Structure formats: C-alpha cells, structure tokens
Amino acid sequence: MTAYTHPVGARLPRLETREKITGRAEYTDDLTRPGMLYGAIVQSPHAHARIKNYDIGKALDLPGVIGIVTGNDTGLGRSGPFIKDETAIAKGKVRYIGEPVAAVAAVDLDTARRAAQLVDVEYEELPAVFTPDEALNPGAPRLHEEIATYVNVLGLPARDNIVQECEIAQGDVDKAWSQCDVIVEDTYETQAQYHAYMEPCSALVEVDANGKLTVWSSNQSIFRDQANLSESLGLPMSKIRCLSPRVGGAFGGKIEVTVQPIAALLALKTGRPVRVTLTREQDMETMRVRHPARIHMKTGAKKDGTLVAREVSIVMDIGAYADDSPGVVGVSTAFSRGPYRIPHARCRGLGVYTNKLRSGAFRGFGGPQAAWAGEQQIDELAAKLGMDPIDFRLKNAPEPGREWMCGIELERSDLKECLIKVRAASDWDRRRNERGKPGFRRAIGIACIPHISGVLSSSAIVRILEDGSAVLSTGAVDNGQGSDTVLVQIAAESLGLPVERITFSQPDTDASPYNWGTSASRVTYMVGRAVVGAADDAVKKLIKYASQMMECAEVDLELRPGGFIGLKGVPEKVLPFAAISGFAHWAAGGPVIGSHALHYDGPVLDPTKAVIKHFPFRFGVWTFGVQAVEIEIDEATGRITPLEVWAAHDLGRAINPMAVEGQIEGGVVQGLGYALFEEMVWDGGKVANPSFMDYKIPGTMDTPTAIHSILIENPDGTGPFGAKGIGEPPIVGPAPAIANAFFHATGVRLHRLPMTPERVLAALKEGVRAH
C-alpha cells in the first residue's frame, strides 16, 4: 500500500485547470442548443419615466426576428432577496438609464441588435433623483410608489425612497465623549466600483414541451437564480432547472439574477432556446456596482490609548432597486465599529433609492466603506496620542474572555497575532522611519479587517460508487475562487480517499442539494461543514455494511486511509470501499449515500446585549486580517505607487494554501484598484465610463508582485478541519492602509476614494495651506 497523502493542506492547482488553459472550459456564452436564438436588449434612455406604449412593428418586420418581449409579457411578479421590487423586465416604469425595457430574439446576433434599435418605446419623463440627499428631500419623486405593497421578507423599514435604516448600539455614547481625551470626527466618501468580472453576464434558457425551463447562466447561486425566476415569472420552482457552466468571475455581482429573467421571457415567448449575453457596456450600465457611501464618523480615546466611543452614520446610494442593499447597509453598519473593543458605540446605516444602476453585493459587502473611514480614524487617534499605529491597535484588539461587541466573545486574539506577524514581516519599525528620495516620499501604513464566514444554509451529498470512488454534490457554484477543488479536498480527507477518486458534481437545482450561495466568504466554512457531515454519514454506512460482511460489531471498525474499513487493532483485517459498496449495491443495504444539511448555528450578535435594529443576518465565525502597504508618492504628479503589501489573514486552516494565496493576491489587487483609480462616474443619470477604456482596472503595470501572504492558522473549533473563509477580507485593507501611509508621509488626510493623482495633489495643496 502506498502512503496516503493528506488532501487537506495540499497545494493543489484547481482540478479544472487543464480545461481552462486549453480553451475547453465551457462558459455560458460558449454553449449553443439546436435552434437557439440570440437575444438583444432595448435599454431605457431615461432615468425615470412612465412607459406609455411600445411600438414593436418595425422590429418584428425585420427578417430573422422571431420574438420580442416587453413589460406586457411579464406579470407583476417581483423578485429580490430582501424587498421584492424587480419585475423580470421593466414594467410600467423605468428607473435608471440603461434599464432593459424590451428584448428581441432573432436568428443571429446582428439581426437581434438591429431589431432592438427599431423597437420604439413611448415614455412620459418623470423627475429623477441622483443622490441620496436629493432622494431624501421631502417631496422628492418616489422610485417605487407601491413600496408598501412589496413583499418585504424581514419587515425592514421601507418607505418613501428608503429601503434600510438600521442601528447597532451599545453603552452610552453621548455621555462617553466626556471620558475621552482625544476625539476625531470627519466625513468620508467612497465611490461606485464595478465588479469587472472578465465574463460579461450571460444566460441561455430553453423551455421543454411541458413548459419547464432549463437555465444555464453565469451565476453565484443556482438556487438564488431559481428563487428569483420563480418569483418574477410566477412559475413554481419545480418548473425551473438552473445549471452552472464555468463562471468567469463574479465577486458578488452575480449572486442575484442578471439576465436570466430576460432570456426566460424570450424563450417562453418564442418556444425556442435563447441566449442573452450582455456587451461590456451593457453589463456596466445594467448590472451592479459597489455602493457609493458617505460616512460620518466620530471616535474618541483616552490618553493611554484606550478606545472609548464611536459614533457612525452611513448613507449608501443603493440605486434603483433594493437587491442586496438592505444586507450591505446592515453589514457595513456592523463592521463600522471596527475589530476593536469600543465600549460605547452607536452605528447607523441608511440605504436610499436613486435613479441609477443598482448597487449590490461586492466582495467585502460594506466592509471596504466602513474600513475606509474607521481605519483612518484609528490611525489619526494614534497619531494624536503619539502612539505607534500597531501599538494602538494591539491595545484595543479583542481579547479572549472579554466581550468584543454585541455579546461576542472570541476564543483567541487572532487580530493581535495578525498585527504582530505583519509588524515583523514588513520590518515595520524600520520602514516607518523611511522617508524616500526627494520628490518621491515613501511610507508604510496599516489597516485591520473584520469579517465573517458563517451564515445561512448549505447541504451536501456524498455517494460511494460501486468501485469505491465517490461523487460529491453540494450545489455550490465555483466562481473561479477554487471551491470545487477545496470541497473535494475536504471530502477526500474525510473519506480517506485520494482527490483523484472523488468527482465534483456540477451544480444543478434538479440534482444538487441546496446551497444558499457562493457569497459572504462562506463556502469553505459552511459548505465544507456540510461536506464533512455527508462524508461522515457515508463512512458510518460503510462501517455498518462492513460489520455485516466481517460479522463484527460496528464499534470495532475504523476508517483507514486509502479507502478502507478495518478492524481496530488488526491491520490485516480490512475491506476496501469497493467491496463494501459492491455488497451494499448488489447484496444488502442499498447504495451508500451520505448527506448532511445545516443552517449557521454559532453565536450571533446578541440582541440582549446591544440595540440591534433591522440587522438582517444571523451570522458569525469571525475572521481577522491585517494589511500593511508601502507606497511611494510622486509629489510632482500626485501619483501613488504601491510598492509592497503584507497581508496577514486568520483563516483557521488553509485547506489549499495555493488557493488561499490566490484569494489574497487577487483581493489585494482589486483593493488597490478601489484605492487608487477605479470609479464609476455618472453624468446626470448616465454612466459616463461604461467601458474598460474609461473604467480602468489594475493591469500588470499597476500592481506589485511583492504581495506577501501571511497565513494565520489557528483551527476554528467548528470549521471543516478548522477552516474559515478568506474570499472577501483581502480587498478591504489596501485603501485605508494607503491613506494611512499617505498621512504618515505628508500629514494630510484623504477623505474621498479613489486616491487619484488629481485628488492627491489637491489635498497636498490644501494641506500645505492648512498648516
């Protein structure tokens, strides 16, 4: 018997790598079906208008056009994760420029696009609002007059143009300010960031002879797609089968439906398969962005560096539809408290409709906005007190045995360990004293990150095949981050099988067990737990059948590496999985199928320990990260160049260290783009830069290769082999760490993202004037 190599902890390339590097991987737009039609959308030219009439005659007359759908082809069914406010396609009204208002299916794409231009929609323009301030004005035009009638899943405050108004508070903030020796207070602003997944949103829908839909799409959750389609189309879930081909990146932008409802309407109308793939411009005009936010924050500390109080008010521009905004506003509000012990805190969040593209889930889910303000204030307090920023953070980090926030106590201070490791790895104390060469100031800055990875529900099924190999089904969609591989590693370790003897079943709502979504850094932790449970269940059954075959008690049997059940203490008494599974299939018991399902069951923010109003998640399994970034500032041009990044992340256990590094490196670079140049810009209600030409994401010339991943592995007692999530935290650190480095070098604070050369030069000028 060859030695068994443990799958957990192995640096494995993604299992599907070969297909991705040879061009054989199939993404949605690569798929065709016999008789397939091509879809094209018609977009609203108005930010807010009533739809009076559709004239589709000219478009229908174009040879090759098979069908056209408008708001008349959909009912009043509305979908959405929190407040169900979106129809399958605009109906009655349009609420942002670019909103799909009709769609054409034709025999080829050229014809579909030409026909889309011939669809004539008559509108009655309505006054529009483009900022939360405008939307909150008394008498402001309302985007959703019928909001009170919408399904509001959690009973969140939804009125006028408001979809979320939440609060998390503890202690007595108003009185606490008098205990503070030093207080900082300021307003911070963040921009809209576009997900820029490389694969534009795409869906292919086919309707069978019994009216059942099959939906292939680029997505983060086949089950969210199924639920959303069921709600907006008014079809039972059993009539909707969602599948996932390979997904070309998502980052939160594909967690709810994208173009599936439109492709479905076209397929239902024409009776033929229809594929709708957005152009990059359409994707940027009609999908989602990270919430622009305005954050007012005040934080106070004692002379000895003890944090005392924080007050926060976050206002987020959610765009025209609620989507995940009630969640994002809530999480941003919770995270704005920071990963510190602050006895007195009052954090409030407000989410407001505007006549713009919807804001939605995006890696970090409100965390980047909160950290942009919070981590700068922490740094500023340290500076005012003459303390080193790492010492100041160490002093206020959560400690075991003491409440951190809202009743949460942590087993260890992983944040402290992250801080200590980053200080050592970055040679912080030396670099902190560097100044750079004339004209090019150099400095290092730091930021801390809190995050979670336990939330909502997941399940898994492990089937042992006749030859003793196994199939893993979880319904979890791999967006490229590597979850298929990581989940197979977890299953392999649990079963004692090599990775090669397990296959991952592609997500299919007809066949896979439920998984809420590839989101919230939760797949490794939540789905991983389901996989361990399912594998253990399968092993229990293997032991049961082995006991019948070996005529011994189940308690005397054990799982042995390599796919064996053996008699304890007797090495030669052993049965391979193949023999047991064969017995079960052909003699007695039936096929070996293990399953497990769970909902997040750990500690959550405790409503008896704090005021928690309208916080929409029961979540936990906290993870912490610390990132330091060294930058160079060109004083002549205002350009900030990131030189080196140290990223320490507490993740329990790295199931696959290579994949973890990939998450950290990729997240950091997205965070550098957010920090330095990415910004979706509107001209009135129109997205002014809907292309990669005008919306720049980081390329090879913009980022350092010196991104040092520091993996803090203190196994979590509840996680699969101790693992927690790592998907989101890495994007959060770069912006505040760079702003803090910039302050250290220049004495000037930057309050608005991104930190473009123009803003840097203006701030330097202003800063010089102020001194």
Distance CA 275, CA 263 (A): 6
Is 34 a binding residue for other proteins by CB under 8 A? The answer is no
Closer to other proteins by Cβ: residue 538 or 707? 707
Q: What is the DSSP letter of 523?
A: I
230-269: contacts with other proteins (CB under 8 A): 246-249, 251
Distance CA 607, CA 587 (A): 54
Closer to other proteins by Cβ: residue 182 or 658? 658
Is 199 a binding residue for other proteins by CB under 8 A? The answer is yes
**Token pair in block for residue 155:** 């009973």
Is 148 a binding residue for other proteins by CB under 8 A? The answer is no
State the sign of the Cα–Cα–Cα–Cα dihedral 634, 638, 643, 647. Answer: positive
**Token pair in block for residue 173:** 């903030």
Cβ 255 to other proteins shortest distance, Å: 15
CA angle centred on 726, ends 722 and 727, rounded to 5°: 140
Contact 316, 352 (CB under 8 A): yes
Is 480 a binding residue for other proteins by CB under 8 A? The answer is yes
Burial of 450 (0-12, 13-18, 19+ CB in 10 A): buried
CB-hemisphere CA count at 13 Å for 661? 15
Is 13 a binding residue for other proteins by CB under 8 A? The answer is yes
Is 482 a binding residue for other proteins by CB under 8 A? The answer is yes
Stretch that binds other proteins, among 301-309, 416-424, 539-547, 655-663 (CB under 8 A): 655-663
Q: Site map for other proteins, 60-99, x if CB under 8 A?
A: ----------------------------------------
Query: Taking Cα atoms as reference points, which of 466, 378, 259 lies closest to residue 733?
Result: 378
Contact 475, 515 (CB under 8 A): yes
Q: Which of 5, 21, 175, 688 binds other proteins (CB under 8 A)?
A: 21
584-643: contacts with other proteins (CB under 8 A): none
Cβ 739 to other proteins shortest distance, Å: 20
Is 279 a binding residue for other proteins by CB under 8 A? The answer is yes
Query: Taking Cα atoms as reference points, which of 568, 353, 331, 581 lies closest to residue 464?
Result: 581
Query: Taking Cα atoms as reference points, which of 680, 651, 696, 677 lies closest to residue 735?
Result: 677
Is 23 a binding residue for other proteins by CB under 8 A? The answer is yes
Q: Phi and psi for 241 in degrees, rounded to 5? A: -115, 120
Q: Which of 51, 69, 295, 659 binds other proteins (CB under 8 A)?
A: 659
Q: Which of 4, 9, 10, 16 binds other proteins (CB under 8 A)?
A: 16
Is 138 a binding residue for other proteins by CB under 8 A? The answer is no
Q: Which of 6, 58, 75, 110 binds other proteins (CB under 8 A)?
A: 110
Is 48 a binding residue for other proteins by CB under 8 A? The answer is no
Residues ≥6 apart with Cβ < 8 Å to 186: 296, 297, 373, 376, 377, 749, 751
Q: Which of 33, 280, 416, 759 binds other proteins (CB under 8 A)?
A: 280
Q: Site map for other proteins, 699-738, x if CB under 8 A?
A: xxx-x-x-x-------------------------------
Query: Taking Cα atoms as reference points, which of 140, 121, 87 lies closest to residue 355?
Result: 140
Closer to other proteins by Cβ: residue 417 or 678? 678
Contact 405, 333 (CB under 8 A): no
Stretch that binds other proteins, among 303-311, 327-335, 381-389, 476-484 (CB under 8 A): 476-484
Q: Which of 474, 479, 512, 518 binds other proteins (CB under 8 A)?
A: 479
Distance CA 770, CA 751 (A): 15
Distance CA 196, CA 693 (A): 12
Cβ 759 to other proteins shortest distance, Å: 24
Closer to other proteins by Cβ: residue 13 or 620? 13
Stretch that binds other proteins, among 21-29, 41-49, 121-129, 582-590 (CB under 8 A): 21-29
Closer to other proteins by Cβ: residue 585 or 696? 696
Helix (H) / strand (E) element for 764: namely helix 757-770
167-196: contacts with other proteins (CB under 8 A): 195-196
Alpha helices in 196-236 (DSSP H): 222-233
Is 130 a binding residue for other proteins by CB under 8 A? The answer is no
Q: Which of 5, 117, 637, 691 binds other proteins (CB under 8 A)?
A: 691
Burial of 595 (0-12, 13-18, 19+ CB in 10 A): middle
Distance CA 468, CA 406 (A): 48
Q: How many residues bind other proteins (CB under 8 A)?
A: 58
Stretch that binds other proteins, among 319-327, 479-487, 626-634, 752-760 (CB under 8 A): 479-487
Distance CA 67, CA 391 (A): 66
Closer to other proteins by Cβ: residue 221 or 494? 221
Distance CA 411, CA 431 (A): 32
Q: Which residues bind other proteins (CB under 8 A)?
A: 11, 13-14, 16-27, 29-30, 32, 109-110, 195-200, 246-249, 251, 279-280, 479-482, 658-659, 661-662, 665-670, 691-693, 697-701, 703, 705, 707
